[in-house]
Amino acid sequence: MSEIRLDRFISERTEYTRSQIKILASKGKITVNGIISRKSDFKINPETDCINVLGNEIKAGRFRYILMNKPSGYICSTEENDGISVMNLIPSEMRTKNMFPAGRLDKDSLGALLITDDGRLAHRILSPEKHIPKIYIVKLARPFQSKYVNLFDGGIILSDGTHCLPARVKCAENNDNLAFIQLNEGKYHQVKRMFAAVGNHVEKLMRVSVGGLILPEKLGFGKCMELLHKDVENLFSPLDFDTFCNDFFGIFSAFLINK
């Protein structure tokens, strides 16, 4: 990668404007390889130089990928017309100017949410042709019924006549009111509407995986972590549903019960 100006490098990877970067540099708040740089037009090599702003390292990658464990009460939007945006939960050192949620969860829903400034990746994830599977765990108002397995596998028809793609469901072994569901699409309030169509009601919903990216057990509600490129590639490596349920049901069911 060729050399570029320091202010351009920082502005492309943070929320700082070039004028703000100039001020930070003049105050000695920016270092290049551990040495204070008071000139924001200084040329740097993004591949070899270590850049810090206010003590935070600015990584060379052009795009950033954040995995959030979304808490209830926040909306998946960059605007705040209908509530408080999840963007407020992202630490300042992780933010860039053009970040947005790549996908949605309802305001009262929990779990895995990808936030990025990579529009091309977001398009790949959200494109209907890709059918990236997502796994949710739900707490039901009434006990899970074995007939749900075939009904969901055959494609649920919602109350308004909308046809859903085949989906997989599995009940918890020791709790008839908890179940996993795997979807290959993302219609409006789809999980809740699917269970309503079979005569049940979703009390709580938590997304626990997107593609092959699994929500880490130790990532608390409202917390974020930056993803590496190898983690991002896991989005396109689907999980085996049965294996996932067997391995992770205890972890995520506890998450949902205790919430």
Give how far Cα 46 sits from Cα of 7, 28, 59, Å. 12, 20, 8
CA 83 to chain centre: 19
106 is a catalytic site residue: yes
Q: Which of 41, 49, 82, 106 is catalytic?
A: 106
**Residues designated catalytic:** 106
